[in-house]
Every structure is written in C-alpha cells, then in structure tokens.
C-alpha cells in the first residue's frame, strides 16, 4: 500500500511539473536618439547579432530621432535614407517618431515611411493631410507564443502643442497629450497582450510623470533627453540609453506562462564589440563623398560647446551687419571641434538643419523678456542657458529657480539694437517682440564655411559670456 501511495505521489508530482506554466525570457534591444551616427552601426550590428545568436525571443526597437546630425546622412540626395537602409538590414521590428524625424518636412517623411521595413507607431499623432499618412498607435508582435504590445508617443511640450521644430513642419498634424493617449491605448491593449511596452520620445521627466499615474506598462523605453536611465517608477522599469549610438539597451523580461515575473535592464557599451564587416563596408560606401570630406579651413585650438555657440552667434552678426548675434544652444549640434583641419561635413554636422539668418530690432527690455520667457518654460529642451548672445548677460533667478530679470552690462536701456538670430528662434520662441523682423536668404552653415575658407586658422573663444545668479531675500 505504501508503495502504491508513493507511486501516486510521484505521478502527481511529475504531472504537476509537466503542466506547470513554462518559463520564457524575452530580450528587448533598444536604441534612442541615434542622430544619424551611422558610423556606429557596424558595432550595433555585432551586438544585436550576438544577442540573437544566444536568445530565441528578441525584439529590436528604437525610440526616435534617427537622423539629423551627420552630413553623410543629412546632405545626400535622399536625406535620412542611409540610416533607414541600415535599420532595414538589421531587421528592426518597431520604432516611434522623435521630433527630428520631421526636420525635412512631413511630406518628405511621409514618403520615406514607405521605405521603412519596420513598424512606426505613435498614439498621439493625428494627420489631416494627404502628405503624411496616419500612423498606427501601436503594433502587436508574437515571439514564441508571447504577445508583445508596443505603443509609441512623441513629445508635444516644446512646440508648444507639437514637437520641437519649425511650425511649418507640422501643418495639418495634431499632437494631443502624449501621456493621455498612451494610457488610452494601454488600457485597450493590456488585456490582449502578455508584455506591454511604451516607446516614448517625451523625455525622462515626462516619462516619470506618466509612470506616477499608471501601472499599465511593463517597460518604458525612453528618448529625447539623451540620458542613461535605469530606474523603477511605481513598479515599472524606465530606461534610456543616452545618445549617438554609444550604447545598446538590453531589457530582459521573464515570464511564467503569460504573466511577467520580472523586468531587468542593462546598458551595453557598443565599444566592447568588434565591428561587423558587412555593415562596415556599407557604411564606408556612404562616407565616400569627396566634397563633404574636403577640408575647408582649420581651427587654431579646440572649440568647446561654448566656443562653437559664440562663433555661430558672431558669424551671423557679422554677416547681417547686426549689433548683437544670438544663437540657441539646441542648434549647436556638436560638443566640440578639435584643433586642426575642418571638413565641410563637420560644419554640416554642427549645423544640420539648413537654418537661415533672421534679423530684428529689439530694445534691451524686449531681449530681457525673450530670455526670461525661455528660461521659465516648463520644458527647457535640457538647456538652462539656452540663448547665447555676443553681448554678456546675467539671468537673475529666485530660490525656486524662476527667472525674474536679466542684467546687460554693455547695453543701454531704451536703445534699439539690430539682432541677428537663427530663423528657428525667430519662428518659434515665445515672448518675442521686435520691429522690422525678416528672414534672409543666407544659411548659417554656408556663412560658417565662408568664414573658415577666408579666415583660417580660427581662434575660438571658449568663454561663456552668460551666467545665472540666484538671488535670495
């Protein structure tokens, strides 16, 4: 009898074990804010393939801003096409939109979507134009019986009401609250999928804000703010990999049956991989442009971010015969240029947007209002000091970090000054009051190229002329 019961026990045990929910592991590989750094793709390809060789369930995703930042991508006959071709070859599964996807205009982006062999999703883009097709809010994938829902969302905070960029790029499009739309579609998808992912190009501050209000997502893969992030918010993992394809994000989702047990994340440096030879050959072909590679001048010393911004502000002021030059830090797309020869491509990397010079007449009071308004915006695009002027100034802020005044030691109150700025400032900045505003035909990049050709070697001024002063009672 004892033998009988023991046999029954083991039979039940093995039956239960055989019928227990199977454990599976899904690996989500993620990139964000690549900014056209195709020279990193051979390393990325090697890292992705290494994961695919060892893991059955893999999803490859991107959280936006795939181009703008490399002349060999931005200045080709079909801007952006090289990175699309590389992503297609690497077999990306899904991506969302970043603000820089619209840099070449929505009509062009609409045409380019046809060449993308991966899904592109956004829950908060609504199109009322024939030039840009209505994107799907989400996509659903199956990997080994695991159902994975991916929702996209893009920032509308800096416009305001649309992503950062020129208003003309968004005519006919609406960008409702990305948080509300993400939650709306998450509620629809949650009962239908095992794993729910948000691809967000809102920025980490907005992602954290969202996750403080919902637990519908298993994983949020972020972008836009260029930080490395691995944090748990209200039970949901929030990640971001920085920028410029320095890293690959690896999110490991463990499931038992159809229920998520845990989600872990690690940042993998792509420098740890040997480049994939096939991708390296393809990238080398993109870089074989003699005109872009040609040296047009030189720097006598290294120019840092402040030095580049100062140079750009000074160059446009000289070109427009203005009293003051002003440039926005977000339009300075390189952190530094080393001493030595400078190619045409390097200047296009510094200013990739085709930005034109705008002029306007302003008093110190009007300049002050522009600076204070920009400083106090809820979203500063990651820049505390946003506006670089050829004349020094000090922003006075209170203990809550709210600006209330600006001091100009070299300007005379009441006098009217001629300013030269980027057309981005002219078209998009709030609190801008001026007389006689106009946009010139001159593109900033062409002005910089002309200066290098005529005045090399240039000696950069790396002094920051602007400062912030906290005033306490």
pTM of the model: 0.84
The Cα angle at residue 462 between residues 458 and 465, in degrees rounded to 5: 125
Burial class of residue 230, CB neighbours in 10 A (0-12, 13-18, 19+): middle
What does the pLDDT read at residue 113?
Answer: 94
* Beta-strand relationship, 295-299 and 303-304: unpaired
What does the pLDDT read at residue 167?
Answer: 82
Percentages of the chain per state (helix, strand, coil), in multiples of 5: 35, 30, 35
Name the residue ranges covered by the structural domains of the chain.
21-285, 295-470
> In this structure, how many other beta carbons lie within 10 angstroms of the beta carbon of residue 439?
15
CATH architecture, range 21-285: 4-Layer Sandwich (3.60)
How far, in Å, are 110, 164, 167 from residue 131 at the CA level?
6, 20, 16
Q: In percent, how much of the chain has pLDDT > 90? A: 85
Could you tell me the pLDDT band of residue 15, with boundaries at 50, 70 and 90?
A: very low
Model pLDDT for residues 405-437, shown as the tens digit of each residue? 999 999 999 999 999 999 999 988 887 999 999
In sequence order, the 6+-apart residues with CB closer than 8 A to the CB of 112 are 78, 80, 81, 84
Cβ(186)–Cβ(214) below 8 Å: yes
Average pLDDT value for residue range 216-223? 98
pLDDT at 3 over 70: no
Average pLDDT value for residue range 9-20? 47
- The DSSP code for 99 is G
pLDDT at 314 over 70: yes
What does the pLDDT read at residue 14?
Answer: 47
Model pLDDT for residues 34-76, shown as the tens digit of each residue? 999 999 999 999 999 999 999 999 999 999 999 998 999 999 9
Average pLDDT value for residue range 139-149? 96
What does the pLDDT read at residue 473?
Answer: 74
- Higher pLDDT among residues 166 and 223, named by residue: 223
Could you tell me the pLDDT band of residue 158, with boundaries at 50, 70 and 90?
A: confident
What does the pLDDT read at residue 451?
Answer: 95
CATH architecture, range 295-470: Alpha-Beta Complex (3.90)
Could you tell me the pLDDT band of residue 129, with boundaries at 50, 70 and 90?
A: confident
pLDDT at 208 over 70: yes
Q: Alpha-carbon distance 94 to 118, whole Å?
A: 5
pLDDT at 394 over 90: yes
CA atoms in the 13 A half-sphere facing the CB of 75: 23
SS3 450: helix
Beta-bridge partner residues of 230:
239
Model pLDDT for residues 183-206, shown as the tens digit of each residue? 999 999 999 999 999 999 999 999
What does the pLDDT read at residue 6?
Answer: 52
DSSP characters for 132-165?
SPPPBSEEEEEETTEEEEEEEEE--TTTTSS-SS
In CATH terms, are 21-285 and 295-470 the same topology?
no
SS3 23: strand
Average pLDDT value for residue range 343-368? 96
Q: Alpha-carbon distance 88 to 45, whole Å?
A: 11
What does the pLDDT read at residue 398?
Answer: 95
Cβ(442)–Cβ(431) below 8 Å: no
What does the pLDDT read at residue 13?
Answer: 46
Cβ(59)–Cβ(27) below 8 Å: yes
Could you tell me the pLDDT band of residue 131, with boundaries at 50, 70 and 90?
A: confident
């Amino acid at each position: 009898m004892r033998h009988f019961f023991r046999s029954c026990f083991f039979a039940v045990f093995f039956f239960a074990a055989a019928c227990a929910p199977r454990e599976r592991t899904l690996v989500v590989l993620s990139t964000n804010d690549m900014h056209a750094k195709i020279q990193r793709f051979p390393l990325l390809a090697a890292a992705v393939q290494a994961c695919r060789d060892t893991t059955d369930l893999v999803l490859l995703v991107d959280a936006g801003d795939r181009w703008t930042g490399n002349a060999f991508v931005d200045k080709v006959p079909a801007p952006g096409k090289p990175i699309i071709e590389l992503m297609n070859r690497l077999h990306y599964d899904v991506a969302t939109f970043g603000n820089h996807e619209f840099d070449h205009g929505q009509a062009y982006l609409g045409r380019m979507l046809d060449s993308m062999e991966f899904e592109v999703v956004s829950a908060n883009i609504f199109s009322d134009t024939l030039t840009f097709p209505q994107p799907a809010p989400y996509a659903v994938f199956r990997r080994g019986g695991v159902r994975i829902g991916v929702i996209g969302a893009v920032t509308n905070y800096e416009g305001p009401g649309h992503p950062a960029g020129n208003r003309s790029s968004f005519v006919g499009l609406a960008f409702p609250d990305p948080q509300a739309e993400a939650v709306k579609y998450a509620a629809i998808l949650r009962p239908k999928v095992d794993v729910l992912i948000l691809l967000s190009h809102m920025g980490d501050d907005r992602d954290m804000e969202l996750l403080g209000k919902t637990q519908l997502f298993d994983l949020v893969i972020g972008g836009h703010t260029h930080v490395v992030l691995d944090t748990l918010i209200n039970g949901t993992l929030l990640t971001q990999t920085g920028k410029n394809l320095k890293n690959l994000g690896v999110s490991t989702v463990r499931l038992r049956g159809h229920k998520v047990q845990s989600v872990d994340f690690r940042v993998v440096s792509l420098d740890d991989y040997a480049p994939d030879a096939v991708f390296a050959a393809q990238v080398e072909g993109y870089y074989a442009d003699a005109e872009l590679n040609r040296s047009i001048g030189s720097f006598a010393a290294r120019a840092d971010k402040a030095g580049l911004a100062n140079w750009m502000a000074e160059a446009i002021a000289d070109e427009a015969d203005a009293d003051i030059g002003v440039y926005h830090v977000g339009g300075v797309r390189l952190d530094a240029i080393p001493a030595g020869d400078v190619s045409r491509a390097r200047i296009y990397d510094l200013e990739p947007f085709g930005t034109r010079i705008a002029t306007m007449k302003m008093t110190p009071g009007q300049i002050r209002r522009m600076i204070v308004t920009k400083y106090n915006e809820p979203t500063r695009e990651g820049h505390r000091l946003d506006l670089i002027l050829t004349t020094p100034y000090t922003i006075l802020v209170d203990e809550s970090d709210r600006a209330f005044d600006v001091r100009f030691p070299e300007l005379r109150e009441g006098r009217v000054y001629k300013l030269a700025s980027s057309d981005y400032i002219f078209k998009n900045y709030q609190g801008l009051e001026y007389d006689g505003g106009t946009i010139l035909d001159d593109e900033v990049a062409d002005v910089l190229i002309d200066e290098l050709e005529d005045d090399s070697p240039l000696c950069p001024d790396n002094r920051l002329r602007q400062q912030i002063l906290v005033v306490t009672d």
